[in-house]
Amino acid sequence: MAGKKEKAKARKAAAAATKTAPSSTSSKKSINQIFFPPGYGSTQTQSFKYFEIKAIEGKGLGAFATRPIKAFTTIYHEQSIMTFYKDRSQVSENDLIAAYEKLSPQDKYTFDTMRNCHGMCGCKGGLFFANTFGLRGGGVGCFPNCSRLNHSCQANCMIDTHEEYDEKKITVLKDLKPGDELTFHYVLNTQFMTNEERQELLTSEDFGFVSCRCQVCTLPPADKFISDSRRQIMRHLLYWIEGADLNEVPPASLGPHPGDLPDMVLASHILLFCHLAEAEGVVVGSRLGTSFAKLIHFVIFRAAMKRVRQLPERIWNNVQTWWKRAQFYGTGGSVLDYRDIDLFNTVEDFISCVRDDGEINWKEFQNPLREVTENSSWSELCLPLRSAQIKVSNLMRLFG
């Protein structure tokens, strides 16, 4: 996800920017001449339609729901108040001062009252890099309000970039009640790491946590063991399914990849992944929603290959259940790429061609899948996930 480590890397980036700051004798404006208004670093409560930002003990600022919010509601959009279309490492203090001078008086006040990871040092880098996210297609932007959401290893929100604009959106992924804190993953793939792995990552120099004290990291030992087991198995499943370990996190000892696996084996992997993700509440990002859609895609492929005219009742019921879940989890608050959009469109087109009794009208299904043969391979269609009706109930009893 764009901007996953932006807050975490603030100290390093701000320090680098500070090194390029002009001296007080320079013809350019010195950072010492920048005006800091009364209320600098303000912790005053700010209210929005669905939530408020306020001070909380031990965390500084945080965002809290002020009304009941249904899952998968997009509750906020924010435009960047300062944007650079280059790598964050190339943004200097001079760049920040020049951009600051072009801000409106209101945006200057907003910028100056943001959290500064360098305290009262006076540099703009400390303000900018502590409140930035990456942009889709490259660059970095400053989003003061989105930056107020704190991290959780079982986050209830997703912050992503609009596919066309330099705009961030906050999407709630679980039902919330008034008073619930809005949280997101500083690193999305911590969803598939154990407690020990997460603590090691978050207490590193990059993030600077003393320790993560979120809900999942403070579970009782027995519950923590179950949570760790789910997440560890999900990481192995993704490794076998996708052919590579997670990015943006330290590598794990996952052993050699088994190589190409039979469709039915991969089927059990994706189905088990979906069950574990739901049980653990891992719903952030597009993996879960698209995984359910890929389950249906495999049924479409098998039906086309076998020239099936009518789906058995059991399979048709599965398809309808998976489609409801795919639609419910949707994009997980993220923006889908073109491959996932094509996947959802294909599944939706197929379901519209199936009658209530499972009979398939192939003539209405305008998709290359209808042309597959007995010699076709789903792998050749560039969709690496498969599904089948695999019974995993015995294993699932171990994980709730």
Tell me the pLDDT tens digit for each residue of 357-395. 999 998 888 777 666 655 555 544 433 333 333 333 333
Closest CA to 186 of 202, 171, 170, 168: 202
Average pLDDT, the chain: 79
At position 129, the amino acid (one-letter code) is F
**What does the pLDDT read at residue 99?**
93
- Residue 103 confidence (pLDDT): 94
Residue 11: pLDDT band (50, 70, 90) is: very low
58: left (phi over 0), alpha (psi -120 to 50) or beta: left
Mean pLDDT of 303-324: 91
Predicted pLDDT of residue 105: 93
CA distance 41 to 113: 4
CATH class, domain 10-186, is: mainly beta
In this predicted structure, the answer to whether residue 336 has a pLDDT above a threshold of 60 is yes
What's the average model confidence in pLDDT over 263-276?
A: 86
Q: Residue 358: which region, alpha, beta or left (left: phi > 0; alpha: psi -120 to 50)?
A: left
pLDDT band at 149 (very low <50, low <70, confident <90, very high): very high
Per DSSP, 246 falls in state P
> What's the whole-number mean pLDDT along residues 227-236?
95
Tell me the percentage of the chain whose pLDDT exceeds 90.
38
pLDDT on residue 338? 66
Question: Cα–Cα distance between 157 and 281 in angstroms, integer?
Answer: 12
CB contact at 8 A, 281 and 175: no
Lowest mean pLDDT among 59-68, 164-173, 181-190: 164-173
Predicted pLDDT of residue 298:
85
**How much is the pLDDT for 321?**
94
**Cα separation, 31 vs 24, whole angstroms:** 8
The pLDDT value given to residue 172? 93
Q: 106 versus 12: which is more confidently predicted?
A: 106
* The pLDDT of residue 337 is above 60: yes
Of the candidates 118, 107, 172, the one whose C-alpha atom is nearest the C-alpha of residue 141 is: 107
Write the pLDDT tens digit of every residue in 12-63.
444 444 443 333 333 333 333 333 343 344 556 789 999 999 988 766 789 9
Query: Which conformational region is residue 267 in: left (phi greater than 0), alpha (psi within -120 to 50 degrees), or beta?
Result: alpha
CA distance 163 to 167: 9
Beta-sheet strand order (sheet of 73-79): 73-79, 167-172, 157-161
- Do the beta carbons of residue 395 and residue 254 sit within 8 Å? no
pLDDT of residue 160: 86
pLDDT for residue 36 = 36
Check residues 372 and 10 and name the one with the higher pLDDT: 372
The span from the CA of 84 to the CA of 72, in Å, is 30
- Percent pLDDT > 70 in the chain is 76
Q: What pLDDT score does 327 carry? A: 87
Paired tokens of 143: 């989003």
Give the tokens for residue 260.
Answer: 């190409």
Half-sphere exposure (CA, 13 Å, Cβ side) for 309?
A: 0
This prediction has a pTM of: 0.75
Nearest 5°: phi and psi at 352? -70, -15
**What are the extents of the domains in the chain?**
10-186, 260-396
CA distance 160 to 335: 7
Q: What is the mean pLDDT of residues 328-349?
A: 79
pLDDT of residue 333: 62
Tokens (6 digits) for 400: 């709730």
Question: What pLDDT does residue 49 have?
Answer: 94
Q: What pLDDT, on a 0 to 100 scale, did the predictor assign at position 155?
A: 92
Q: Over 50: is that where the pLDDT of 200 sits?
A: yes
pLDDT band for 266, please (50, 70, 90 cuts).
confident
Is the pLDDT at 9 greater than 60? The verdict is no
Query: Which residue type is seen at 170?
Result: I
Q: How confident is the model at residue 114 (pLDDT cuts 50, 70, 90)?
A: confident
Query: Looking at residues 307-332, what average pLDDT do you find?
Result: 89
CA angle 106, 150, 20 (to 5 degrees): 60
22 secondary structure, DSSP code: P
Q: How far apart are CA 294 and CA 270, in angstroms?
A: 9
